[in-house]
Each structure stands twice: as C-alpha cells, then as structure tokens.
Structure 1
C-alpha cells in the first residue's frame, strides 16, 4: 500500500484558505471561521489534478489543525462531506445538530 506524506499546508488567513502546491499547481481549501467553528466551503484544484488520496490527506491535515485549535468543523462542500462519510472517526469534530 502506497503511503502519501501529509501535504505542507499554508494557512492564508487573508484569503481565508489553506494552500498547498503540487506539480500540477496550487490546491486551495476555502474556509470561514465563526463562533469556534470552521466552515470548509470549497476545494479548488488544477484541471489536470485527479489524485483523490492526496485530497483525502489534505483534508486530514486540515482536520488535525482544527483539533489542535479546538474548532468544530462544518463541511459544506460535497467532497468534504463525502470524506466525513468515509471516515467516521472524524465525525466527533462535527458540531451538535450537524448530521452527515
């Protein structure tokens, strides 16, 4: 089984997005923080990018960051909702009342 290292992420607070660079280009995950919750609103990838494992690892790294900051996570983007459905161990990060 191939292991993929956690991607290096930059938190661009001015643009409210996490950023990482791949050979295909920059991948961003847009967010908004309100009342101790981080809303993950969009993933932007280059057109030629199709590495789902990399996206999963990127989301995991962002969620680990949220755990460190004691933030609840509200996934609003379908790809991130799909990640939560596949990785039930992260459902504890969802705020009360949010069901996926």
Structure 2
C-alpha cells in the first residue's frame, strides 16, 4: 500500500479501485493532529482503514512525533490498539 503525504492539502492519501481515501491532519509543535477520514461513497472496509492508520502511526514513530487523534474513528482505533497509546502526548487520555 502506498500512502502519499500531500503536505499542500495536509492529508495522507491512498488510492483504491473505489477512489481516494484521505486522512486529514494538522502538524503543530512536534504533534500531528489526525482530524478527519474521507472515503469513497459506500466504502466500508474497516480493516483497510485500520491498515492506513497503522501505516501513518508507524511513520509517526519513525519521526518521533506525538499523535493527537481528534476524529472519532481514529480514537476508536487507539482504543482497540493500546500498543499505540505511547504516541499520545502527555495529558491526552483515550
């Protein structure tokens, strides 16, 4: 899976046969705020969305930046995958 960081649009992008999946973000002071997921209409492959999120979080680990999930679907991912909670900045509880 190829995920492109479109810094101009401030979103991660990956193309699938159904269309484009994007995860919007805001980068501030060594923190990345994941703010929204956009999927093609009628796309419901939650496992694929999880893979995209995992890929983005692995990238955050490599860059040593903290992650602030503000979108409910991404918060849900953190709840299901407690191993990624180390990426949360101090004071952020999920």
TM-score, with normalisation over the residues of structure 2? Answer: 0.98
Q: Retained in 2: the 8 A contact 1:24–1:48?
A: no
Which of 67, 72, 93 aligns to 2:66? It is 72
Which of 26, 44, 51 aligns to 2:38? It is 44
Segments of 4+ moved more than 3 angstroms = none
Shift of residue 48 of structure 1?
2.0
In structure 2, distance between residues paired with 1:71 and 1:43: 20
How many residue pairs match? The answer is 94
Q: Unaligned 5+ residue runs, structure 2?
A: none
Residue of structure 2 equivalent to 1:3 = none
Q: Unaligned 5+ residue runs, structure 1?
A: 1-6
- Pairwise CA RMSD: 0.5
